[in-house]
């Protein structure tokens, strides 16, 4: 399965990247970064560092978007909990150009996984009128359809960060699967995941074990329970078939371009598959996949 990943590499994006890289049936063709949890430039640096620890070489391009200050309290000063990662070199192409190029080179084969705001995807659609017909599928982590949002009563962070872009992506005519807070807030790890990653001892899993405690701190302060929701890893796992939907209707859906609300509307001209529930136990499945990855050993 050929994947283009678009992300704003914060803590849960790092876990999602590990899920994609751990799957032997997945080829990560390229990564574009977008303003969101942190700046697109910092997100690219984070992605390159994680790829280095994973022993992988993948083109990483910097995109843009609407930077609204990031989520330092959730993701840390650098997006990955303040943890230092190895360096790397970005691809000179802007992220939208990388996506357009990959889709044209692999028509009908490229699957897009979008884990941050939709700015790069909307820019790519504007750049190439044929893009929507060339891409096999688009999986977007975002939205709050039947539950409250996490930035307002109705809006979720990724969608609200660039609501006009999200509206354009949903309306583009390609097959869109939305993975909203309705699902991801219930897909969780408890604190034992930190110990499991640390005990694995390889450079990537060790780094992940150091990155995620800040995420636990934030959610523990909110809920009183030391658990984290697996927003981006759940979307990545669904995109590559690690998780199987059990409730995923195709709905009339529209994005309010001013508020970022994702509104279920049977009369809407735009439609998307929305995943509300999955089979099995997603948290353990995601952790087991990361731990089973063929990562470089400690030296």
Domain membership of residue 297 (yes or no) is: no
Q: What is the pLDDT of residue 126?
A: 98
Domain membership of residue 299 (yes or no) is: no
HEC string for the chain: CEEEEEECCCHHHHHHHHHHHHCCCCEEEEEEECCCCCCHHHHHHHHHHHHHHHCCCCCEEECCCCCCCCCHHHHCCCCCCCCCCCCCCCECCCHHHHHHHHHHHCCCCEEEEECCCCHHHHHHHHHCCCHHHHEEEEEEECCCCCCCCCCCCCECHHHHHCHHHHHHHHCCCCCEEEECHHHHCCCEEECHHHHHHHHHCCHHHHHHHHHCHHHHHHHHHHHCCCEEECHHHHHHHHHCCCCCEEECCEEEEEECCCCCEEEECCCCCCEEEECCEECCCHHHHHHHHHHCCCCCCCC
What is the CATH number for 15? 3.90.245.10
Q: Which candidate in 8, 35, 162, 200 is catalytic?
A: 8
Q: What is the pLDDT of residue 94?
A: 98
Q: What is the pLDDT of residue 35?
A: 96
Which domain does 77 fall in, by range? 2-292
Number of domains in the chain: 1
Domain membership of residue 210 (yes or no) is: yes
> Is 231 assigned a catalytic role?
yes
> Is 8 assigned a catalytic role?
yes
pLDDT tens, position by position, for the chain (299 residues)?
999 999 999 999 999 999 999 999 999 999 999 999 999 999 999 999 999 999 999 999 999 988 887 888 889 899 999 999 999 999 999 999 999 999 999 999 999 999 999 999 999 999 999 999 999 999 999 999 999 999 999 999 999 999 999 999 999 999 999 999 999 999 999 999 999 999 999 999 999 999 999 999 999 999 999 999 999 999 999 999 999 999 999 999 999 999 999 999 999 989 999 999 999 999 999 999 999 999 999 87
Domain membership of residue 33 (yes or no) is: yes
Q: Which candidate in 12, 75, 162, 231 is catalytic?
A: 231
Q: What is the pLDDT of residue 161?
A: 96
């Amino acid at each position: 399965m050929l994947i283009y990943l678009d992300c704003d590499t914060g803590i849960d994006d790092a876990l999602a990247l590990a899920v994609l890289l751990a799957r032997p049936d997945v080829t990560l063709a390229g990564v574009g970064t977008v303003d969101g949890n942190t700046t697109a430039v910092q997100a690219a640096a984070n992605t390159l560092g994680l790829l280095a620890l994973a022993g992988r070489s993948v083109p990483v391009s910097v995109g843009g978007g609407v930077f609204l200050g990031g989520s330092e309290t959730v993701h840390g000063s650098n997006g990955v909990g303040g943890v230092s990662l190895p360096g790397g070199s970005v691809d000179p192409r802007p992220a939208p150009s990388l996506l357009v190029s990959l889709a044209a080179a692999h028509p009908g084969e490229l699957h897009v996984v979008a884990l941050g705001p939709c700015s790069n995807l909307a820019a790519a659609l504007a750049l190439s009128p044929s893009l929507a017909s060339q891409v096999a599928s688009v999986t977007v982590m975002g939205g709050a359809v039947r539950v409250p949002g996490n930035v307002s009563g109705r809006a979720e962070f990724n969608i609200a960060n660039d609501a006009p872009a999200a509206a354009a992506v949903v309306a583009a005519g390609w097959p869109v699967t939305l993975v909203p807070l309705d699902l991801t807030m219930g897909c969780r790890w408890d604190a034992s995941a930190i110990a499991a990653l640390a005990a694995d001892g390889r450079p990537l899993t060790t780094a992940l074990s150091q990155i995620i405690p800040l995420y636990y701190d934030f959610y523990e302060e909110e809920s009183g329970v030391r658990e984290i929701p697996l927003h981006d890893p759940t979307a990545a796992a669904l995109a590559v078939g690690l998780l199987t939907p059990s409730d995923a209707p195709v709905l009339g859906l529209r994005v309010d371009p001013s508020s970022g609300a994702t509104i279920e509307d049977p009369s809407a001209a735009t439609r998307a598959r929305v995943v509300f529930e999955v089979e099995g136990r997603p948290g353990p499945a995601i952790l087991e996949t990361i731990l089973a990855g063929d990562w470089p050993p400690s030296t």
